[in-house]
Amino acid sequence: MYTPEHFKEKNINEIKKILNTFPLATIVTSGNEGFSANHIPFICEFNLDGTQTILGHIARQNEIFQETTNGSQVLVVFKAEDSYISPNWYPTNKTTHEVVPTWNYQAVHFHGKISFFEDKKSLLSILGKLTKIHEKKIGENEPWKIKDAPKDYMGKKLSGIVGVKIDVTRCEAKSKLNQNKEDIDFVSVKKKMLQLKKEILYSAMNKIK
């Protein structure tokens, strides 16, 4: 990912916020017919040794499992809110006219090695984590739990999926939020973003200056 120094996102809390707010990631793999992209909700664990591990599950019939071997290199992309930025939003445009449109966005790319697991205990663990996280996010008064479903039904569902584990080897994070502009332009765009209710981008911009 092309990332000039002033757009590199180095704040680990901001990176975690992007992952937690936008957990549906795009995983890119290489198979028999070339590159393949799938959209999977993942959990990214930040380990005590400074490494990251990405966990999730996919259908057993998914080409990721059918065509990808353990240890293969994959790319996982998380993307936050984004927006077109008009030159009209820059006050300096009225005096210099030396501005052009751009696009603001945040993204996190994880490169890593994939492996699969099929044991029932591990599958139930990742399913339980995903369910607990997202039931809480949507504010369910009585969050759904795996045990709420009949055991034989869950057994059939488990037989149709495999677990995914990605050991991250490299992380790239980017927040392209007008950091390279004059303060007056930066503040103006921030106000416009708030008006447009691009809440995630506005929140990130608010932390920069």
The answer to whether 55 touches 8, Cβ cutoff 8 Å, is no
Q: What's the whole-model pTM score?
A: 0.89
- Alpha-carbon 192 to chain mean position: 25
Instruction: Note the pLDDT of residue 208.
Output: 72
Q: In the chain, what are the domains? A: 5-86+103-179 (2.30.110.10)
Integer Cα distance of 42 and 57 in angstroms: 8
Q: Which pLDDT score, from 0 to 100, does residue 149 have?
A: 93
Low-confidence ranges of the chain (pLDDT < 70): 197-202, 209
Q: How far is it, in rounded angstroms, from Cα 10 to Cα 109?
A: 13
Name the one residue in this structure whose structure tokens are 């994939």: 114
Residue 33: the pLDDT is 83
- Residue 198 is predicted with a pLDDT of 61
pLDDT in tens, 60-88: 999 999 999 999 999 999 999 899 999 99
pLDDT of residue 183: 92
